[in-house]
Amino acid sequence: MTVVKGSKQQNLRVVPHRPWLRVLYVFITVLITASAAVGAYYFGFKQGMAEQEAALAQISSLSSELDSKSAALRAVEQELANIRLGAEVDRQSSEDVRQEVIALKEQLAALEADNSFYRNLMAPTENKRGLTFGAIELSDTDAGRTYHYKFVMQQLATNHELLNGSLEVVVVGKQNDLEARYYLSDLSSSVSDKTVKLRFKYFQTIEGDLVLPVGFDPERIELTARSTGKNAVTIEKRFGWLVEET
């Protein structure tokens, strides 16, 4: 046997040649790997489904709770609105009743004044003059420096006869620190002359609106009434500028 110097001797072993066994090993390895992957996927899928179902259940529960709270809130808001409406109705009803009572009192006072006025007209009297002043009123209006006036002249007598005469109305005040006098005809479009003609049996009402000049500060009103005929008389009256608010 020839020995080659310088080379290492290897022990050789003869094994059977089985190529199918290698394929089997590869197949088993692939099968195990695939099974593990499928198992992991299935486990993850199942775990995800469980978490999703839990989340959906929680969302459903929260949605139901939200609907319940919303319904309760709407009920409370409606109850509050009803309470406010009831309070407003009660307040308005009380105010309406109060205003109605005030209006009825004013009507009653006016009726009593009218009743007293007409009784005085019809009652016998020893007043020889006959002509006298009745109600004198000044009231404010919505227009600037515009006032409503009402003067009532009446005849007090046992036997009422037709009375003729005149009424002079003068508004006295200050303008530019000086005394100024304006006839009613200067201030009111309802009167065209300095004197108002009187002609009545029981009473006569002189009524209208007057407008004060700019810069004029009224202080009083002077009334002078004169009757004509057999028992002619002259009566005068002065009163301060007192305006009733409407």
CA angle 141, 109, 159 (to 5 degrees): 100
Distance CA 33, CA 39 (A): 10
Give the residue from 14, 223, 30 showing the smallest Cα distance to 132: 223
Q: What number does CATH give the domain 132-240?
A: 2.60.40
DSSP state at residue 230:
T
Q: Hey, where are the domains in the chain?
A: 19-123, 132-240
Whether this prediction's pTM lies above 0.85 is answered by no
Which pLDDT value is given to residue 216?
97
- Bridge partners (DSSP) of residue 217 are 174
Report strand pairing: 234-240 vs 216-227. Answer: antiparallel
pLDDT in tens, the chain (246 residues): 455 555 555 566 655 656 666 667 777 777 787 777 767 666 666 666 666 676 667 777 777 777 777 888 888 888 888 888 877 777 777 788 788 778 777 777 777 666 666 666 555 555 455 899 998 999 999 999 999 999 999 988 767 789 999 999 999 999 999 999 999 999 999 999 999 999 998 899 999 999 999 999 999 999 999 999 888 899 999 999 999 876
Is 217:175 a contact under the CB 8 Å cutoff? yes
